[in-house]
Structure 1
Amino acid sequence: MTRAPLESEVREGAIKRSIGQSNVPLESSPLSGNWEWDERAGRANSNRFVDGMASLTSDPNGSGYLGVASGAALLRVTDPNPNGSEDQIASGQIIEPSNMPTLRIPYSSDSLGELDPFVKQYFNLFHKSYPIIHEATFRAQFMHVLPRPKAKAWEVLLFVVAAVGAFTASTQPSQEDVGLFEAAKARMSFDMLETGSIHLVQALTLISNYMQKRNKPNSGYHYMGLARRTAMAIGLHKEIQSPTMNLFEREMRRRIWHCLYIFDVGAIITFSRPLDFPSNGVDAELPMDVHDTAITLGTRQTPHFATETTIYTHMRAQVAFHMATSEIYSKMISTSFPSASELIEADDRLISHWLSSLPPYFQEDATQDVTFRLCHSILRWRYRNFRTLMYRPILIRRVMSRRGQIATNGEEPNYHEDIAIERCLQAARESVQLISAYWLNEHKNTMACWYGLYFLFQAVLIPIYCLRNDPQCAAADEWREQITQAMRTIESMSHIIESASLFLEKIRSIANLYPLMWPNLDIAHMDGFDTSLQASTITDFMNQIPGFE
């Protein structure tokens, strides 16, 4: 006879299901029964804004599937009105710039010389983090020093490079890149997908990343699938020992494959979708950490690794990071969420080891030349963000059990849960501090803004959630400071990326809950304390937040 489950087991199961991977509160289903989407006009099916960071979209309808590790997951818990209200942020409607001229590039090859400023911007900024193209070769082809490839894929690649360069290097809201990207799309055809080439892989990969950053994440996800299949079809995932292939060609194959890997896995984690990047049968080696001058068409001997940061250092470090954390991510999105002790063990074994294995010149506190400060900073933000994501279900479970929303078995929180929660809080705190400091002191452009905003918004949701649910905690003042600091930074970011204002409004709508954030006000009134002092404390805090003056 089957034994009836004990009451404590039923309660424990309720907790696991609520914080698990397929039910509330971190994951929800669309009302329409599917996750269909339409991004052709930059909007989802229901005229709701779908951001490329998968952070603002708390409503699952028309947004595509966004799982438990996405930024949208925690927003489903913290958002008091996820399905819309009268204001633009609660309804999720996108703010479309109305007074920005779109640069339309003529579709004739005679105008390619006009792309030079944008190509330069690409190589001066984006290329330093993601060297999927060999700069010298591409520039020589662009300038007709070397013959331009006749395949249409190269021309598509050229316009995509220009679009990415224009977008990422911009220091103010701009639409220049849109015309460039439209020119790239105009040069694509179904016939092109019946070919396979290095240039096509490069173009599709950059298109994917560009579309995500331009708030068409599902479209970018599609293009990345095409890029990966094309790459495998021409064998970029394999080490080729052909005697006719020189070192330069072999290195370029490795660079392209691993840049594709970075973008693909990065997007998978952002949207919290299954990790389907192949591992079996893949033996492409990591590119060497050398300066470009060390490997040319004439190089015959393998050069020594550089002893300083190169344009390949960040790529190697990020590839190693994703390889180290793939095991953890797979557990994070599984039906049975791992225990706190399992996460801590994996963290110490994989992430800590990865961190200590970085070359001395790319360690956490290593000073970087201005050329590499952004990619170095993004890597620091990235691994803290991952730690925040992996531990936050433990934090949410603890907070919800204290609020009585989930029944508990009466046991005291265990030692490992305490460590996990502290690591989540620490990672979020450090993210707010590091991103805010970078934004205050370093060069501001759209690329820095996009990554900074993505990681900062997810980080600040942690103190907001904690403050709303435990406003009398000893750490409450510190949480308020983090919220204030993050909002000031995001407000400054809105001068470059207009959608940053949507993130700011979302934080305001969540944080502006006086009874939850300031419970002592009613207590002070009942006990005869000076409520004017309490009210002034609230006002002082709110006045520090952009938009409340």
Structure 2
Amino acid sequence: MLQLHERQEGMQIQHGFGVAHNAAEAWALHLPEINLQDVMRRLELGNQDVPPRSSPSQLTEAPETRYGPAGNQPLDDTSPAEWSNAEDYEFDESQDFDNTTDGMGSLVTEPGKVGYTGPQSGVAALKFLQTLHLYIPANQPTPFPLDGPDTRNSSEASPASISEYINSYFRIYHSSYPILHEGTFRARLSGALAKPRDGSWPLLYNIVIAIGAFVGATDASDSDVPFYKKARQSLTMDILEKGSLSYVQGLVLTANYLQKRNKPNSGFVLIGIGWSMALAIGLHREFSLPSSSPFMMEIRRRAWWTLFVFVSGAQLTLGRPPASLVGVNVRPPSNLNDQDLAVDMESLPDSRDGPSTTACLVQHAKLAQIANMVQVELLAHQIPGHERAVTLDRSIAQWRRDLPPYFDENRMLETWFEIPKRILIWRSFHLHIILNRPILFRIIRDKGTLDRSIKPISSCLDVAELCVESICAYLEREPEHLRGLGWYATYCLITATFVQATCYIYDPAHALAPTWKNHLKRAVDCLSNLGATNSMAFRAKDILKRLLDQSELFLSLFETPTDPMADSSLQSSAVGIWELTTQDQASTSHRAAAQDRNTIFLGERAMPFPFYAQSSSDAELLDAAGGIMLQESSDSTGPYSEWDAWMPG
């Protein structure tokens, strides 16, 4: 009887394990966003509230202990990521080109200037940096206009200049974004091949010249602007009643040009038209003989994936929801040069093993698809979950490892490939940073320690360092800076240095603080040189230079004292400076400051110090932090209308 009883108990236990296993599988299948272990732990603790999203099962502690409280704080009616007035997002970019707007989405924060910019944008990072001490006001007028009074020569450019601009387009720009076929374009230009009869040629022809003039310049020349204005004359309502590959090419190139010329919203609207037209003509679908020749299908593939890269990049830059690839089956382009393609070919040749016209586009398209996943994660949660952040970060790292050997940074190649190669690598650094930056900024917002044992923190800091070193080393080696490369160098350098500047201000006694300081000084020099072709570089340089100058003065008060009594004196002096440099800060007694648990130094020389303002500046800090990450109480699994208020409807 005893053996029978034990056998029955064993069967019951085994059955219980089976039920538990099946329940866990069912839970994972139907409630993937909620972690079962979290729920059980909360029940054991007497808290029956279901967490809003899953905690990484591989973590030894819940995300709220790693990144701060999760969803237990009251929310304001208006999300801190948005302006209080929705009309502030309306924009007017009809003025001539200047840098009161910003195509990089990083340096202009005034209402009415930038349109809607989400938490991934550089503007959100700048808002966060502005909340830290010693920062210059965001609305300080800039003394670096791209255009003063219109002094451009209205006469036609010489044929030699036009030829030079077209050559610059195909030498510098084309191998990054081969949306055209060079032979076809030049044949149409010479008259050997008929020009499109749908009216798209003036748009395409003039925008190619404008881009060539822009990217090939080594100064702040505006020789491109007259050609853009000619291209713009073709942008009438008539284009909405037509649809062709040539029109898509012209619209997409114009949109990208406008972003680089600091009209980001104009470009964003225009590329939206291009995207819709591309879908309307089936550019996203794969066709075969006899529907489409191998030559034409390959050009369509190039056009589609160039468009996708531009759309993904613009959405990432401005923090706007990503485009979907649902229903897209067009294959990526082959690794071929333009010369490998012929109109009458019956099949495509084998892909090349080395650099080609489309080699960078192929890799750009792969990176853009990862960027879309990053976009989804950041827009849904703003602070990515630890496990998801690590997974996406590894995807970017794996993408880099999978690059062919000729993408090695240490291997210098000809200009036509070296420039797009550098741009591609720098954009991957940028993606690493914006993925992990919200976690870093959340720790700073919560006044935690910059612990490099947290993978997203170490990744963000390491890649920011790599980015600054890569860009500055290349610029220091190359005496001539083409504007086509300089725009991306400035863009990615701003992303990396603003992270380092934020960390340097937050914790100037961190083990990496000397490295951050050296990188910031090096970046100031590089941005000063880049300013010759891009005034946004001057603006970023001015921000970093002021920060460094004032920080050095401020931190000089914390030199190691020789008198034990000097600690108190230095601390009191520092408190006085803090009160002078923090807007609207309430008066704080030195005794209260000495007892404050927050410290400006988090290392061996840690000293009590009210690094964060104790009154209205807290609201400013939270406002900026809200521009980086969503409050964790959002229900990311619900429909868009149920997401936090900052999400676009």
Q: Same fold (TM over 0.5)?
A: yes
Once residues 158 and 258 of structure 1 are traced to their aligned partners in structure 2, the CA distance between those partners, rounded to angstroms, is 21
Q: Deviations over 1:396-423 (max 9, x none)?
A: 22223336xxxxxxxx9988x6221111
Deviation at 1:480, TM superposition (A): 0.6
Q: 5 Å matches for 1:98-177? A: 98=148, 101-104=151-154, 115-177=162-224
Residue number in structure 2 paired with 1:41: 95
Deviation at 1:162, TM superposition (A): 0.5
Matched, 1:388 2:429: no
Once residues 147 and 16 of structure 1 are traced to their aligned partners in structure 2, the CA distance between those partners, rounded to angstroms, is 66
- Report the AA paired with residue 98 of structure 1: G
Asked if 1 retains the 8 angstrom alpha-carbon contact of 2:207 and 2:228, the reply is yes
Residue number in structure 2 paired with 1:544: none
Deviation at 1:300, TM superposition (A): 1.6
Residue number in structure 2 paired with 1:231: 278
Residue number in structure 2 paired with 1:330: 376
- Report the AA paired with residue 421 of structure 2: H
Q: Summarize the Cα distance change of 1:464–1:14 in structure 2 as closer, same or farther, 3 Å threshold.
A: farther
Q: Bigger shift: 241-250 or 307-316?
A: 241-250
Q: Bigger shift: 327-336 or 384-393?
A: 327-336
Percent identical among aligned pairs is 27
Q: Summarize the Cα distance change of 1:300–1:457 in structure 2 as closer, same or farther, 3 Å threshold.
A: same
Q: Bigger shift: 119-128 or 223-232?
A: 119-128
Residue number in structure 2 paired with 1:66: 117
Deviation at 1:322, TM superposition (A): 1.2
Q: Summarize the Cα distance change of 1:253–1:292 in structure 2 as closer, same or farther, 3 Å threshold.
A: same
Deviation at 1:88, TM superposition (A): 9.3
Deviation at 1:391, TM superposition (A): 0.8
Residue number in structure 2 paired with 1:543: none
- Provide TM-score, normalisation by structure 1: 0.84
Q: Deviations over 1:489-514 (max 9, x none)?
A: 00011112233211211223333433
Q: 5 Å matches for 1:413-428? A: 418-428=454-464
- Report the AA paired with residue 459 of structure 2: R
Q: Summarize the Cα distance change of 1:384–1:155 in structure 2 as closer, same or farther, 3 Å threshold.
A: same
Matched, 1:29 2:65: no
Residue number in structure 2 paired with 1:55: 106
Asked if 2 retains the 8 angstrom alpha-carbon contact of 1:103 and 1:178, the reply is no
Residue number in structure 1 paired with 2:555: 518
Q: Deviations over 1:248-271 (max 9, x none)?
A: 011011011111111110111000
Residue number in structure 2 paired with 1:243: 290
Once residues 23 and 94 of structure 1 are traced to their aligned partners in structure 2, the CA distance between those partners, rounded to angstroms, is 33
Deviation at 1:229, TM superposition (A): 0.7
Q: Deviations over 1:63-87 (max 9, x none)?
A: 20111111111110112599x98x8
Q: Bigger shift: 329-338 or 482-491?
A: 329-338
Asked if 1 retains the 8 angstrom alpha-carbon contact of 2:132 and 2:506, the reply is no
Deviation at 1:462, TM superposition (A): 1.3
Q: Bigger shift: 56-65 or 363-372?
A: 363-372
Bigger RCO of structures 1 and 2 (CA < 8 A, at least 6 apart): 2
- Report the AA paired with residue 508 of structure 1: K
Once residues 93 and 33 of structure 1 are traced to their aligned partners in structure 2, the CA distance between those partners, rounded to angstroms, is 27
Q: Summarize the Cα distance change of 1:520–1:96 in structure 2 as closer, same or farther, 3 Å threshold.
A: same
Residue number in structure 2 paired with 1:360: 405
Asked if 2 retains the 8 angstrom alpha-carbon contact of 1:254 and 1:287, the reply is yes
Once residues 351 and 202 of structure 2 are traced to their aligned partners in structure 1, the CA distance between those partners, rounded to angstroms, is 34
Once residues 512 and 138 of structure 2 are traced to their aligned partners in structure 1, the CA distance between those partners, rounded to angstroms, is 32
- Report the AA paired with residue 102 of structure 1: R
Asked if 2 retains the 8 angstrom alpha-carbon contact of 1:55 and 1:72, the reply is yes
Once residues 352 and 123 of structure 2 are traced to their aligned partners in structure 1, the CA distance between those partners, rounded to angstroms, is 41
Deviation at 1:92, TM superposition (A): 5.4
Once residues 59 and 517 of structure 1 are traced to their aligned partners in structure 2, the CA distance between those partners, rounded to angstroms, is 28
Q: Deviations over 1:169-226 (max 9, x none)?
A: 1111111111111111123321122111111000000010000000000000000001
Q: Bigger shift: 445-454 or 367-376?
A: 367-376
Once residues 4 and 304 of structure 1 are traced to their aligned partners in structure 2, the CA distance between those partners, rounded to angstroms, is 61
Q: 5 Å matches for 1:131-530? A: 131-275=178-322, 277-335=323-381, 337-348=383-394, 350-363=395-408, 365-402=410-447, 418-442=454-478, 443-514=480-551, 518=555, 520-521=557-558, 524=561, 527=564
Deviation at 1:96, TM superposition (A): 4.3
Q: Deviations over 1:451-482 (max 9, x none)?
A: 00000011101111111111111211111101
Deviation at 1:284, TM superposition (A): 0.7
Unaligned residue ranges in structure 1 (runs of 5+): 404-411, 532-549
- Report the AA paired with residue 74 of structure 1: A
Asked if 2 retains the 8 angstrom alpha-carbon contact of 1:471 and 1:516, the reply is no
Once residues 61 and 526 of structure 1 are traced to their aligned partners in structure 2, the CA distance between those partners, rounded to angstroms, is 54
Once residues 454 and 429 of structure 1 are traced to their aligned partners in structure 2, the CA distance between those partners, rounded to angstroms, is 15
Deviation at 1:89, TM superposition (A): 6.3
Unaligned residue ranges in structure 2 (runs of 5+): 1-45, 51-61, 570-649
Once residues 203 and 167 of structure 1 are traced to their aligned partners in structure 2, the CA distance between those partners, rounded to angstroms, is 16
Once residues 430 and 231 of structure 2 are traced to their aligned partners in structure 1, the CA distance between those partners, rounded to angstroms, is 33
Q: Summarize the Cα distance change of 1:522–1:347 in structure 2 as closer, same or farther, 3 Å threshold.
A: closer
Q: Summarize the Cα distance change of 1:476–1:244 in structure 2 as closer, same or farther, 3 Å threshold.
A: closer
Asked if 1 retains the 8 angstrom alpha-carbon contact of 2:500 and 2:520, the reply is yes
Match of 2:169, SS? helix
Once residues 336 and 39 of structure 1 are traced to their aligned partners in structure 2, the CA distance between those partners, rounded to angstroms, is 29
Number of aligned residue pairs: give it: 507
Q: Bigger shift: 60-69 or 471-480?
A: 60-69
Once residues 74 and 115 of structure 2 are traced to their aligned partners in structure 1, the CA distance between those partners, rounded to angstroms, is 23
Residue number in structure 1 paired with 2:630: none
Q: Bigger shift: 328-337 or 132-141?
A: 328-337
Q: 5 Å matches for 1:67-106? A: 67-80=118-131, 90-91=140-141, 95-98=145-148, 101-104=151-154
Deviation at 1:517, TM superposition (A): 5.6
Q: Deviations over 1:293-343 (max 9, x none)?
A: 222112223311101100100000000111133222210122363222321
- Report the AA paired with residue 428 of structure 2: Y
Once residues 93 and 71 of structure 1 are traced to their aligned partners in structure 2, the CA distance between those partners, rounded to angstroms, is 21
- Cα RMSD for the two superposed structures: 3.4
Deviation at 1:99, TM superposition (A): 6.9
Q: Summarize the Cα distance change of 1:73–1:220 in structure 2 as closer, same or farther, 3 Å threshold.
A: same
Residue number in structure 2 paired with 1:535: none
Deviation at 1:357, TM superposition (A): 2.5
- Higher CA-based Rg: 2
Once residues 17 and 430 of structure 1 are traced to their aligned partners in structure 2, the CA distance between those partners, rounded to angstroms, is 39
Once residues 244 and 272 of structure 1 are traced to their aligned partners in structure 2, the CA distance between those partners, rounded to angstroms, is 38
